[in-house]
A and B are shown apart, each in its own frame.
Chain A
């Protein structure tokens, strides 16, 4: 018993070390005074200041944030519709195909998604002249396609655990379907939508592969800038940038996690109550 727990403890320590020592060292070195990345020259925040004067990085960050916000919002709108269709419209023709197609982007290799979208954009430009060139628009569209799938899955699972008679009761009391959705369904699934939004935002902020395929000249996202900089050698300002990104992503993931677990708890509580009241 004791041996096993020591073993587990050691394994856990190694695992966590493996995951977090690189990140921690990155954060620590982002406060390094020295220009040489691996030599500690004392504590300083100069690289954060330098970062703020780096036009290229700032531009890329702004672009990434813009794409992230637009992507997350559009993905929530479309994903909610898809989730609603899957959860509420029973067995319509082609439902299986539809649900398969909605979740396909979740398992499709990014390289293939990126490549196929690039082909689509190129041929669309030839055929209908839109999108002219590649840039922010194409990256946003590409991000929406794969983020939407995540939102659809989240919304669908939330809706299928929602008691449908609640919506029927609202309708019975005189609310039309659109009103029912707005004042009953939407407020109840709102936490799922918020966590879907945050998830889509971080996925978009994170993406390097797909963005690389469908971006054009002068439209580099933050991950792309970092990647190209690192290829010229790791510099301390990249450490600072990475630290900031880690911070943002962590905050988002924590918020999404808290929302989801709260919802999960509420659901468990509802289920338990339903059981209690059954007998």
Chain B
């Protein structure tokens, strides 16, 4: 037992402890495989990436999610070495990447435009990276064949890129960047150029391939569904900053701030002030609602503090208003003003009754969705019906920023 050397020279290839095999970021002993420390990138006066800290672990499929222009690609290009950071530090597998050229980094990138070499066949495209490493010919042949097999393109080896469909080109680009077995694969909107059906299918292929090769993937996307489907963890970016990092369900169920809550899926955001706290819940008074909001404990708050309560539409139950008194909290009356039938579920847009004045002036709009459990043609709730909306105290999240 050589404990000292074990602790100091923690090998990066170390298998994570069994209990953290799928969640290495929870393992206190794990060392991040990619460590982005306070990285900033300025183009002139414009700050594209602003003081970003990010830890990505071995074997993750990590997504950078954000609206167009928020600096995702710039961050990825700094990992690949195409842009030099204005400030901060990037470590990959413990090595500081400052001053290391793209052709010397242990990472490969799959470009948004695929960037296939038009004058080379599929085979030569895939073999290009191996030739640069001076891998022996026979081995190149084997590895190229293997990579093409992986993306199911063996039959297209002799074609030129312009003789392929969009989806096939995407897979050539993937094979080309995987064949060198990089420590990290960076993918810039890998599915962005595909149509919806193909994209969904390819998402699962991508996950399977990542599982098979075991390489750490960092994926840039602006498509939240894609990020939710693919990733082990997501970093939501906003104007060059990281808003929140978490697993897809953390990001969805426990958004850390209003931006993330609003960006991922649809949500009802209600502004109010903390009225009082009990051992079980926080009560929030919201000027737009009659009843008070009761939310299970989240972050610690003070009485009178301004907060936002975020409630997902699918967590709100809707039923026809049969009169009678409402429960003490988490219940409101309203009228259905909009209704969208989506097949699997129906979206209701409900105008709340105004503050006790009968609702003529109209309160705010709340969105609720209900799964269509039966195939009945008649809906229980229809246009212009008075309804009652209720939700559980576990449904809402209190946001302070």
How far is it, in angstroms, between the C-alpha of A276 and the C-alpha of B193 when the chains are bound?
A: 9
Segment 162-190 of A: residues with Cβ below 8 Å from B: 163, 165-166, 168-176, 179, 184, 187-188
Query: Is B102 within 8 A of A172, CB to CB?
Result: yes
Name the CB-closest residue of B to A174: B132
Query: Is B162 within 8 A of A172, CB to CB?
Result: no
Asked if A278 is an interface residue, CB under 8 A from chain B, the answer is: yes
- Pick the interface stretch among B62-70, B109-117, B214-222: B109-117
Query: Is B113 within 8 A of A174, CB to CB?
Result: no
How far is it, in angstroms, between the C-alpha of A274 and the C-alpha of B169 when the chains are bound?
A: 12
Asked if A93 is an interface residue, CB under 8 A from chain B, the answer is: no
Query: Is B103 within 8 A of A278, CB to CB?
Result: no
Query: Is A169 within 8 A of B111, CB to CB?
Result: yes
How far is it, in angstroms, between the C-alpha of A165 and the C-alpha of B112 when the chains are bound?
A: 9
Asked if A273 is an interface residue, CB under 8 A from chain B, the answer is: yes
How far is it, in angstroms, between the C-alpha of A23 and the C-alpha of B129 when the chains are bound?
A: 55
How far is it, in angstroms, between the C-alpha of A172 and the C-alpha of B185 when the chains are bound?
A: 11
Chain B residues lying within 8 Å of A277, measured Cβ to Cβ, are: 166, 169, 193-194
Asked if B82 is an interface residue, CB under 8 A from chain A, the answer is: yes
Asked if A269 is an interface residue, CB under 8 A from chain B, the answer is: yes
Chain A residues lying within 8 Å of B375, measured Cβ to Cβ, are: none
Q: Known: A168-B82, A171-B102, A173-B176. Contact between A279 and B195, CB under 8 A?
A: yes
Query: Is A173 within 8 A of B82, CB to CB?
Result: no
How far is it, in angstroms, between the C-alpha of A176 and the C-alpha of B81 when the chains are bound?
A: 13
Query: Is B119 within 8 A of A172, CB to CB?
Result: no
Asked if B156 is an interface residue, CB under 8 A from chain A, the answer is: no
Segment 62-98 of A: residues with Cβ below 8 Å from B: none
- Residues of B within 8 Å of A, CB-based: how many? 29
How far is it, in angstroms, between the C-alpha of A188 and the C-alpha of B107 when the chains are bound?
A: 26
Chain A residues lying within 8 Å of B82, measured Cβ to Cβ, are: 168, 172
Chain A residues lying within 8 Å of B80, measured Cβ to Cβ, are: 172
How far is it, in angstroms, between the C-alpha of A183 and the C-alpha of B257 when the chains are bound?
A: 49
Query: Is A174 within 8 A of B129, CB to CB?
Result: yes
B102 to chain A, nearest CB (A): 5
Asked if B369 is an interface residue, CB under 8 A from chain A, the answer is: no
Asked if B128 is an interface residue, CB under 8 A from chain A, the answer is: yes
- Residues of A within 8 Å of B, CB-based: how many? 24
Asked if B133 is an interface residue, CB under 8 A from chain A, the answer is: yes
Chain A residues lying within 8 Å of B330, measured Cβ to Cβ, are: none
A189 to chain B, nearest CB (A): 10
Chain B residues lying within 8 Å of A173, measured Cβ to Cβ, are: 103, 108, 128-129, 132, 176-177, 180
Chain A residues lying within 8 Å of B327, measured Cβ to Cβ, are: none
Chain B residues lying within 8 Å of A279, measured Cβ to Cβ, are: 195
Q: Mark B166-197, 1 if CB is under 8 A from A, else 0.
A: 10010000001100100000000000011100
Query: Is A188 within 8 A of B119, CB to CB?
Result: yes
Query: Is B117 within 8 A of A184, CB to CB?
Result: yes
Segment 234-279 of A: residues with Cβ below 8 Å from B: 269-270, 273-274, 276-279
The interface residues of chain A, by DSSP majority, are classed as helix
Chain B residues lying within 8 Å of A276, measured Cβ to Cβ, are: 166
Asked if B118 is an interface residue, CB under 8 A from chain A, the answer is: yes
Name the CB-closest residue of A to B188: A165
Query: Is A175 within 8 A of B119, CB to CB?
Result: no
How far is it, in angstroms, between the C-alpha of A91 and the C-alpha of B101 when the chains are bound?
A: 21
How far is it, in angstroms, between the C-alpha of A168 and the C-alpha of B108 when the chains are bound?
A: 11
Of B128, B169, B180, the most chain A CB neighbours within 10 A belong to B128
How far is it, in angstroms, between the C-alpha of A278 and the C-alpha of B169 when the chains are bound?
A: 13
B350 to chain A, nearest CB (A): 35
How far is it, in angstroms, between the C-alpha of A168 and the C-alpha of B81 when the chains are bound?
A: 10
A185 to chain B, nearest CB (A): 10
Query: Is A176 within 8 A of B195, CB to CB?
Result: no
Name the CB-closest residue of B to A176: B103
A122 to chain B, nearest CB (A): 47
Q: Known: A171-B102, A172-B80. Contact between A166 and B132, CB under 8 A?
A: no
How far is it, in angstroms, between the C-alpha of A173 and the C-alpha of B132 when the chains are bound?
A: 7
How far is it, in angstroms, between the C-alpha of A147 and the C-alpha of B195 when the chains are bound?
A: 47
Select one of B107, B117, B133 contacting A170, CB under 8 A: B117
Chain A residues lying within 8 Å of B113, measured Cβ to Cβ, are: 163, 165, 274
B27 to chain A, nearest CB (A): 31
Query: Is B103 within 8 A of A171, CB to CB?
Result: yes
How far is it, in angstroms, between the C-alpha of A172 and the C-alpha of B103 when the chains are bound?
A: 5
Query: Is B103 within 8 A of A174, CB to CB?
Result: yes
Chain A residues lying within 8 Å of B109, measured Cβ to Cβ, are: 168-169, 172
Name the CB-closest residue of A to B104: A174
Query: Is B132 within 8 A of A179, CB to CB?
Result: yes
B24 to chain A, nearest CB (A): 26
Select one of B102, B111, B119, B162 contacting A269, CB under 8 A: B162
Chain B residues lying within 8 Å of A273, measured Cβ to Cβ, are: 162
B180 to chain A, nearest CB (A): 7
28 contacts between A and B (CB under 8 A): A163-B113, A163-B115, A165-B111, A165-B115, A166-B115, A166-B116, A168-B102, A169-B109, A169-B111, A169-B116, A169-B176, A171-B101, A171-B103, A172-B80, A172-B103, A172-B108, A173-B129, A173-B132, A173-B176, A173-B177, A174-B180, A175-B128, A175-B132, A176-B103, A188-B118, A270-B118, A270-B162, A274-B113
